[in-house]
């Protein structure tokens, strides 16, 4: 996974790779440069190590493998560079400018801290490697790196907790482009005067993100209220240049370190690249919306939930015209209470609709943050923005169900079995030893509360995971770290699913603090939900 990949590249061991340690130890293997840092000081020294005799044969084999793979690496880099074209040079210059800017910020902060009575903050010696300055660099670099920051924030199973926490602040906000530019794009994309399609377009954007800008409008003729999502000019060139650069770096790392090929770093980068390029193709987003709307219709759920209707005749690859839904984010508790008398029932509806989509829909919504999950004025749940979706097989979801249930009751044998079922590996895994290591690592993370059963009025124990989001992030990170030590690699959907569960956990604590999401009988997360009667929702 990505964490191991980064660790392998430079054998870099930092406190944020293991959140339980407090001493810092850097070790850069290419030059065997060692840096030791303790809380009260920071020292630097170098050591050059001689290769051990027993390492010579394996080193020789690795060298031979690199020689054989070198032509392929060069070919890949050259082809990627050709595909990138001149835009790559421009982005490189912008990258240097951003790096210098953040470096100046760091120097200014160091100067202020040195003159302060409080002394130097503990993360300052890490320089631009510290989570705060990495985030600031990403924000300066713009659209692609903001999206990468959001990916880090959304993947507690892949990245160190300090980075996951810091990148929660990496908001996808950007200065709006002028309305004249929006009008120009609309005329070009629609191929006809704007006035022939829209009766009115609000010049003030509803939202401006790094990739797209959204304006309210009204259709000509039907006079229906709509929103127009417009791709910002030049964003595709920026994404292609940036993502190709990240891909080349990953390929070089893979070539230099034999460990990288086992961490799937290049595969992860390819997956991110494909996912992000899908976001700038509004034809694909429109198809995702239509698939979800069909799922709601087939399951008889249109009175419970909806997604915005897409107006195909005024939508293109760069312009998406959708029905305007009126409501409030699922976290706006005061407004929700003015719409419905029972917020908990609305949350249960949202959970059942989303869980149901995992298998009964072509894809599931993989970004249900509060801005994309609304309670509408008519009491329905509104699912917005289908730029990020996931697809999961019945086999993987069945294993995921067992995994979630095993966390709740601390059944480490079942947890190990389900993770083995989900993960890809080219070797046999000792399930018993894996379960013991999971227990050793997770015992301190899981808090189990005993409850009495209410369905049968008989005494029972229903385990409930009582953790906040930071603890849950740490728990999932520990799971992945232990799994990686057994050679397991998880599909992208694993991280996507976990992130959505974290969002729903947050909403549960706000709207229904006594609700046990994994145990409540009103919530259907079973694999046979496709065949359940629609009234169960």
From first to last of its 537 residues, the chain has per-residue pLDDT tens of 333 333 333 333 333 333 333 333 333 333 333 333 333 333 333 333 344 444 445 556 655 666 666 676 666 666 666 666 666 667 777 777 888 888 888 888 877 776 655 554 555 556 667 888 888 888 888 777 877 787 777 665 567 778 877 887 766 567 789 999 999 999 999 999 999 999 999 999 998 887 899 999 999 999 999 999 999 988 888 887 887 777 777 777 766 665 555 455 666 677 777 777 778 899 999 999 999 999 999 999 999 999 999 999 999 999 999 999 999 999 898 899 999 999 999 999 999 999 999 989 989 999 898 889 999 999 999 999 998 898 888 888 888 888 888 877 889 999 999 999 888 676 788 999 999 999 888 775 554 333 333 333 332 222 333 345 556 666 777 787 788 788 887 777 887 888 788 888 889 988 998 888 877 889 887 544 444 433 333
The span from the CA of 524 to the CA of 23, in Å, is 45
Can you tell me the distance from the alpha carbon of 49 to that of 422, in angstroms, rounded to the nearest whole number? 40
Tell the burial category of 2 from Cβ atoms under 10 Å away from its Cβ (0-12, 13-18, 19+): buried
Task: Specify if 308 maps to a domain.
Answer: no
537 within 8 A of 356, measured Cβ to Cβ:
yes
Rounded to 5 degrees, φ, ψ at 310 are: -95, 130
The token duo for 368 is 């249900």
78 occurs within a structural domain: yes
In a domain, 25, yes or no: no
Among the listed residues 237, 274, 367, 437, the single catalytic one is: 367
Would 148 be classed as within a structural domain? yes
- Residue of 126, 347, 87, 438 lying closest to 238 (CA atoms): 87
Work out how many domains the chain is built from and give that number: 1
Angstrom distance (rounded) from CA 56 to CA 64: 12
**Pair 249, 88: CB distance under 8 Å:** no
Neighbouring residues of 93: CB distance < 8 A, sequence distance ≥ 6: none
Are residues 305 and 375 in contact, defined by beta-carbon separation less than 8 angstroms? no
Confirm whether pTM is higher than 0.75.
no
CB contact set of 468 (below 8 Å; sequence gap of 6+)? none
**Distance in angstroms (rounded) separating the CA atoms of residues 191 and 46:** 64
- SS3 label, residue 375: strand
87: helix, strand or coil: helix
Q: Residue 145's domain spans which residues?
A: 63-106+129-172+243-278
- Is 367 part of the annotated catalytic residue set? yes
Which of 494, 402, 393, 496 has its CA nearest to residue 151? 496
196 within some domain: no
Identify which of 222, 233, 387, 389 has the alpha carbon closest to the alpha carbon of residue 320: 387
Beta bridge partners of 43: 36
Residue 236 falls within a domain, yes or no? no
Which helix H or strand E contains 186, and what residues bound it?
helix 179-190
Tell whether 318 is covered by a domain: no
In a domain, 3, yes or no: no
């Amino acid at each position: 996974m990505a964490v191991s990949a980064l660790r392998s590249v430079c054998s870099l061991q930092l406190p944020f790779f293991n959140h339980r340690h407090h001493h810092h130890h850097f070790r850069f293997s290419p030059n065997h440069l060692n840096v030791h840092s303790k809380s009260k000081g920071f020292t630097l020294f170098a050591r050059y190590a001689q290769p051990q005799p027993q390492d010579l044969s394996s080193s020789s084999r690795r060298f031979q493998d690199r020689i054989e793979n070198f032509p392929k690496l060069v070919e890949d880099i050259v082809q990627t560079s050709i595909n990138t074209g001149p835009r790559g040079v421009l982005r490189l210059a912008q990258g240097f400018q951003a790096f210098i800017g953040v470096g100046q910020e760091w120097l200014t902060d160091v100067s202020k801290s040195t003159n302060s009575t409080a002394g130097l903050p503990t993360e300052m010696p890490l320089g631009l490697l510290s989570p705060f300055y990495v985030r600031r660099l990403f924000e300066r670099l713009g659209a692609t790196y903001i999206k990468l920051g959001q990916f880090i924030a959304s993947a507690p199973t892949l990245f160190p907790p300090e980075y996951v926490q810091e990148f929660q602040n990496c908001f996808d906000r950007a200065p709006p482009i002028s309305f004249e530019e929006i009008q120009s794009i609309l005329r070009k994309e629609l191929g006809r005067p704007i006035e022939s399609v829209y009766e009115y377009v609000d010049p003030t954007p509803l939202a401006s993100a790094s990739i797209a800008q959204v304006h309210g409008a009204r259709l000509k003729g039907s006079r229906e209220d709509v929103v127009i999502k417009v791709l910002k000019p030049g964003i595709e060139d920026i994404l292609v240049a940036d993502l190709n650069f990240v891909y080349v770096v990953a390929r070089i790392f893979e070539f230099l370190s034999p460990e990288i090929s086992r961490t799937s770093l290049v595969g992860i980068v390819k997956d991110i690249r494909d996912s992000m390029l899908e976001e700038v193709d509004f034809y694909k987003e429109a198809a995702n919306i239509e698939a979800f709307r069909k799922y709601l219709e087939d399951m008889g759920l249109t009175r419970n939930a909806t997604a915005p209707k897409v107006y195909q005749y005024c939508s293109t690859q760069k312009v998406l015209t959708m029905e305007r839904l009126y409501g409030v984010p699922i976290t706006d508790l005061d407004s929700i209470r003015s719409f419905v008398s029972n917020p908990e029932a609305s949350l249960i509806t949202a959970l059942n609709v989303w869980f149901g989509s995992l298998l009964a829909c072509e894809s599931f919504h993989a970004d249900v943050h509060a801005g994309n999950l609304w309670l509408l004025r008519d009491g329905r749940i509104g699912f917005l923005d289908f730029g990020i979706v996931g697809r999961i097989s019945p086999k993987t979801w069945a294993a995921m169900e067992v995994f979630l249930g095993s966390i709740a009751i601390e059944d480490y044998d079942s947890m190990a079995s389900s993770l083995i079922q989900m993960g890809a590996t080219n070797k046999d895994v000792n399930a018993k030893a894996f379960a013991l290591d999971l227990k050793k690592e997770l015992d301190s993370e899981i808090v189990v509360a005993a409850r009495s059963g209410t369905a049968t009025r008989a005494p029972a124990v229903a385990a409930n995971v009582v953790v906040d989001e930071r603890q849950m992030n740490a728990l999932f990170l520990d799971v992945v770290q232990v799994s990686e030590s057994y050679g397991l690699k998880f599909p992208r959907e694993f991280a996507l699913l976990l992130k959505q569960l974290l969002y729903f956990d947050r909403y549960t604590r706000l709207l229904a603090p006594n609700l046990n999401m994994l145990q409540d009988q009103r919530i259907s997360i079973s694999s046979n939900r496709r065949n359940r009667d629609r009234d169960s929702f």
